[in-house]
Amino acid sequence: MTGLAALAACNTSVRPAPEAAAQAFRADPGLPVEAFATRRGFDALTPPFDGPVPATGRCWEKARSTQALLGGGVHVVRICSDAGGAMVFAMHTHGDPWHEHYPSDRSADLTIGGGSNYISNQTLERLAP
């Protein structure tokens, strides 16, 4: 296997990507969150790690090392659920803080210097302090 083929064979991204998960919930807001997450290999957070978690509800998370492409770090996607429905977040340990993809899409704030505005106020109200 050539170097490029070996690099292409390495899956260094979480699948589904946070954008794809957000699109699934936009298309069907009633989509069962736990079934969606577990069918796609996300693990339940028990107890939850640092980062966004709902005040009431549960989260599932999947992570992949990005060392081969980005010089280190881990890409993490977290899918959470509470009485208000699904929430999708992502982060990278070497650069990108937690940011919301659903119900609001704050991912563009990362590229335009959005400061700490990576999670909407409406979603912040649903998260544990």
C-alpha angle 86-25-47 in degrees, rounded to nearest 5: 30
Q: Residue 25: pLDDT above 70?
A: yes
pTM for the whole structure: 0.82
Q: Which range among 25-29, 54-58, 111-115 shows the weakest confidence by mean pLDDT? A: 111-115
Sheet holding 99-102, edge to edge: 43-44, 58-65, 74-82, 85-92, 99-102
Task: Look over the chain and give the mean of its residue pLDDT values, rounded to a whole number.
Answer: 82
| Cα-trace Rg, the chain | 15
* Among 33-47, 56-70, 74-88, 106-120, the least confident range: 106-120
Q: Kind and range of the H or E element at 80? A: strand 74-82
To the nearest 10°, report the CA torsion of 110, 19, 106, 73: -40
Chain-centre distance for alpha carbon 43? 12
What is the rounded distance in angstroms from the CA atom of residue 128 to the CA atom of residue 68? 34
H-run or E-run covering 100: strand 99-102
| Of 108, 101, 107, nearest in space to 123 by CA | 101
Say which residues have a Cβ less than 8 Å from residue 63's Cβ, sequence separation at least 6: 14, 74, 75, 76, 77
